[in-house]
Amino acid sequence: MLPGDKSISHRYALLAALARGTSRIEHFSAAADCQSTLDCLRKLGVKIERTASAVRITGAGLNGLQHSRRKLDAGNSGTTMRLLAGILAGQPFDSTLTGDRSLQRRPMRRVIEPLTQMGAEIHAGHEGVAPLKIHGRKLAGIDYTLPVPSAQVKSAILMAGLFAEGVTEVTEIVPTRDHTELALEEFGVHVGRFERTLRVTGGVELRPRDLTVPGDLSSGVFFLAAALILPESSLVLHDVGLNPTRTAVLDLLAGWGVPISLLSVREAGGELVGDVAVRHAPVEGGEIAGDEVAQLIDELPMLAALGPFTEKGIEIRDAKELRVKESDRIAVVAENLRRMGANVEERPDGLRVGGRSAGRLHGAEIETHGDHRIAMAFAVAALGAEGPSTIRHAECTDVSFPGFFESLDKVVER
């Protein structure tokens, strides 16, 4: 079974913590990243209980968070750090947000800038990196256009908007995942949408909700890719999130000749959910560039590692954001594909990976740089390589998918 969607789990936890009363979130992600969000919320005085299948979160209302004397540790999770920064910016107390070595290298100016414009005072390390010392203030709404397409930055501003006086507007030039907007509506906060501008009004009390998190399509993609690498495979992923801002990968693969069908599509908690069926077929390959990059961002390591199994190879452009993810995903993907004998050209904003005609991959020692999506992408590529591969620091898959290797084993055996 796929883990609960990581992006949605973070958002449900954060919003449940701001609601007055108890929310019950079924199929909450077991990912270490989502655990970081829960740990931070506990330090802020939120009551959280885990049952076998669910998380119960009891919030004390919009103004119910309490000062934490201890640092709030977001671990490896950019979503935890950026979304929580938005919430903490509007609190009547100070907080320190930190993270692991990877997160302490990732760019935070993109949230510091708009939150400061709203009235918060935030101190960061050199070059705008964590730890972040956030002096919460009375915030005022702003009208902000995102300079980088980022759902995390958009969400940080919308979260801060809940605490701001008046109206907060965010405009995105390139659409990104809209789980925050949908979740806010579920918790009782209206989000106005005018073309590419979103609008929230501060001071609205959130109502607790019972919700179920859909399966994580970004985790499911590793199995889809495995089915495309291993001849005669067929696979059905059940109860997967099919939010249209997340399914670009399915459209892309379908356009490359992969027989994909969606079954039992329904709506739950404002999100689309359904089953995805795929059969092994030749994958044409091609180019990924422009606006579609933002909605494929987490799938690009797997797509790049699928490159050597495609007819034409894969070229990724306009994706320099990949360099500031959990690792420099352009450099790390290129390095590991080369280790496996692929034909790769690294570019500042992407890479070009040769297709089948460049020859079969061979097994290699894979250096994950502690990046969960690199470990999973190359575990799948290794299934199609000649000879064994070793994935170093494979435990990093726990960041988004505890039990990944056991699941892969089961799926491949059948």
Known catalytic residues are 298
Strand 350-353 to 365-366 pairing: unpaired
Q: What are phi and psi of 332, to 5 degrees?
A: -70, -40
State yes or no: residue 271 binds ligand S3P (CB under 6 A): no
Give the x-and-dash track for 131-160 against ligand S3P (CB under 6 A).
Answer: -------------------xxx--x-----
Closer residue to ligand S3P (CB): 151 or 206: 151
Give the x-and-dash track for 273-312 against ligand S3P (CB under 6 A).
Answer: ------------------------xx--------------
Closer residue to ligand S3P (CB): 400 or 407: 400
Strand 139-140 to 164-165 pairing: parallel
Q: Name the DSSP letter for residue 106.
A: S
In the complex, the smallest distance separating the C-beta of residue 150 from ligand S3P, rounded to whole angstroms, is: 3
Contacts of residue 124, defined as CB under 8 A and 6 or more positions apart, other chains included, come to 108, 109, 112, 130, 131, 132, 133
State yes or no: residue 239 binds ligand S3P (CB under 6 A): no
In the complex, the smallest distance separating the C-beta of residue 37 from ligand S3P, rounded to whole angstroms, is: 11
Contacts of residue 107, defined as CB under 8 A and 6 or more positions apart, other chains included, come to 127, 128, 129, 324
Site size toward ligand S3P (CB under 6 A) is 10
In the complex, the smallest distance separating the C-beta of residue 3 from ligand S3P, rounded to whole angstroms, is: 14
State yes or no: residue 7 binds ligand S3P (CB under 6 A): yes
In the complex, the smallest distance separating the C-beta of residue 42 from ligand S3P, rounded to whole angstroms, is: 20
Contacts of ligand S3P in 173-192 (CB under 6 A): 177
State yes or no: residue 79 binds ligand S3P (CB under 6 A): yes
Assigned token pair, 377: 């992408």
Residue type, 354: G
With b meaning 16 or more CB within 10 Å and e meaning fewer, what string describes 90-122?
Answer: bbeeebbbbbbebbebbbbebbbebbeebbbeb
Stretch (H or E) spanning 135: strand 129-135
Residues that bind ligand S3P (CB under 6 A): 7, 78-79, 150-152, 155, 177, 297-298
